[in-house]
Amino acid sequence: YEKGVFVNEFAILSKGKEGSWWETPAGLYKVQSKEKEHFSSFGRVYQPWSMAFQGNFFIHGWPYYPGGRAVESTYSGGCIRLA
């Protein structure tokens, strides 16, 4: 949304597994912060176009390692990964 007007939607590629410790929390949230590149100390990867929405949970693009190689796994530590 921009200024209350719907702009676009994106497919969810992965999220935290339901019933696990890393389950992505359901609900409606406001974006708390935005970063072009967030470094995850948990996954030791960069998460492009990150938006924090609940504590340590983020919506972000495909993560990559510090050397630039894309993460191959679809595992999520609770974040929502978009394409």
Positions annotated as catalytic residues are 60, 79
Most distant CA pair in the chain, distance: 38
Q: Of the candidates 33, 49, 40, which has an alpha carbon nearest to the alpha carbon of residue 75?
A: 40
